[in-house]
Amino acid sequence: MAGYAFISPFIIGFLCFTVIPMGASLFLSFTSYDLFTPPKWVGFDNYKAMLTDDEKYWGSLKVTFYYVLAGVPLRLAFALFIAVILNRAEKGVGIYRTLFYLPSIIGGSVAVAIMWRNVFGNDGVINGLLFFLGFDKKIFWYQDPTSALWTLILLSVWQFGSSMLIFLAGLKNIPPMYQEAASVDGANRFQRFFLITLPLLSPIIFFNLVMQTISAFMTFTPAYIISKGEGGPLDGTLLYSLYLFQRAFNFFQMGYASAMAWVMLILIGLVTFILFKTSSLWVHYESKEG
């Protein structure tokens, strides 16, 4: 059928480049594999050990959930805020958009890590700013696991550019006539925002929410480069993917790492499913999806 003709590139690629490695990784999760000698079958041992005998595993899960729950809403809220501000035809707004997008372009390079550690250093700019705003105590960001995790969360919020872009597009899409009608009816700025803009924007918010949540669960590079692969201090920045990586490449336990990956896959699938199911409560579609 014609449908298959069109999606055939996806199917081919999926089969060749994804399914086979996926199947292999599922198989590996039931083995002990050190990359050098052939995998040894161990059944559910990896999964058992992970869930019952591994402090760090639960630690990394906790850290990751904290990261997602704190980071994603913050990031989306910030992106929305900026998108709203930049949603106008002022001269030079294009430049502002580029400037605000800049942090996310710098991405996960080593330069970012150096820079970020510097900014949050004990004598860094952030502490200087806090001092300027009246706080009299220096925060030793990297001495405490939670505050170290916050530097990661703030890094992700700082790189809100892509979400902002999509919000901008969504905002442009709202027909001005709704806003006009409302203001004729006497609605003020805030009412207009919360009663008109937000609901009409909700499909976009949903899209961003799902995408950002999935990618937040899989965050690796910032944690890796900022903690120099250690996940410190005291495993405060040991995100799930980082721990997975350590198990796979530092400890040569590919089987265990594969098991971790599959658990994460199931977890993300569950969360996404829940997001989709609860979306009907708050997401408002103008027209039936067709």
Partner 1 sequence: MLMRRFVFVSLCILLTLGLFGCSSNTEEAAGADGKKKVTLRVAWWGGQPRHDYTSKIIELYEKEHPHVKIEAEFANWDDYWKKLAPMSAAGQLPDVIQMDMAYLSQYGKKGQLEDLTPYVKDGTINTESIDEKTIKGGKIGDQLYGFPLGVNVLSVITNDDLLKEAGVEIDDGSWTWTDFENLALEVEEKTGQYGSNGMHPPDVFFPYYLRTKGERFYKEDGTGLAYSDDKLFVDYFKRQVKLVDEKASPTPDESAQVKGMEDDFIVKGRTAATWNYSNQFAAFAQLTDAPLSLKLPPEQAKEKALFLRPSMLFSIPKSSEQKKEAAAFIDFFINNEKANALIKGERGVPVSSKIAATVKSQLSEEEKKIFEYVERATEYAGEAEPPEPIGSAEVIKLLKDTSDQILFKKITPEEGAAKFRKEADAILKRNQQ
Partner 2 sequence: MEPVKDISGRAAPAPLPAGNRKKRAGQLVFHITTAGLAIILLYPVIWLIASSFKESASIFATSHSLIPDPLILSNYTEGWKGIAGQPFITFIKNSLIIVGLSTAGAVLSSAFIAYGFARIPFKGKAFWFSCMMVTMMLPHEVLMIPQYIIFAKLDWLNSFKPIVVPQFFGHAFFIFLMIQFIRTIPVELDEAAKIDGCSRLGIFFRIILPLIAPALATSAIFSFYWKWEELINPLLYLNKPELYPVSLALKLFLDTETASNWGAMFAMSVVSLVPVILVFFVFQKSIVQGISMSGLK
Kindly list the residues in this chain that would bind partner 1 in the complex (CB under 8 A): 1-2, 4-5, 8, 11-12, 15-16, 34-37, 114, 117-118, 121-122, 140, 142-143, 228-230, 232-235, 246, 249-252
Q: CB of 99: closest distance to partner 2 in angstroms?
A: 5
Q: Does 32 bind partner 2 (CB under 8 A)?
A: no
Q: Within positions 193 to 222, which residues make up the interface with partner 2, using CB under 8 A? A: 193, 196-197, 203-204, 207, 211, 214, 218, 220-221
Tokens of 285: 């579609």
Q: What is the CA radius of gyration of the chain?
A: 23
130 binds, among partner 1, partner 2, none (CB under 5 to 8 A by kind): none
Q: Within positions 80 to 99, which residues make up the interface with partner 2, using CB under 8 A? A: 81-82, 84-90, 92, 94-99
Buried b (16+ CB within 10 A) or exposed e, 125-158: ebbeeeeeeeeeeebebbeebeebbbbbbbbbbb
Please give the Cα distance from 7 to 134 (Å, whole number).
59
Q: Does 61 bind partner 2 (CB under 8 A)?
A: no
Query: Which residues in 19-73 belong to E strands, given as ranges?
Result: 31-32, 40-41
Q: Does 277 bind partner 2 (CB under 8 A)?
A: no
Piece of 48-56, 67-75, 105-113, 143-151 that binds partner 2 (CB under 8 A): 105-113
Please give the Cα distance from 227 to 98 (Å, whole number).
29
Please give the Cα distance from 253 to 139 (Å, whole number).
37
Q: CB of 30: closest distance to partner 2 in angstroms?
A: 13
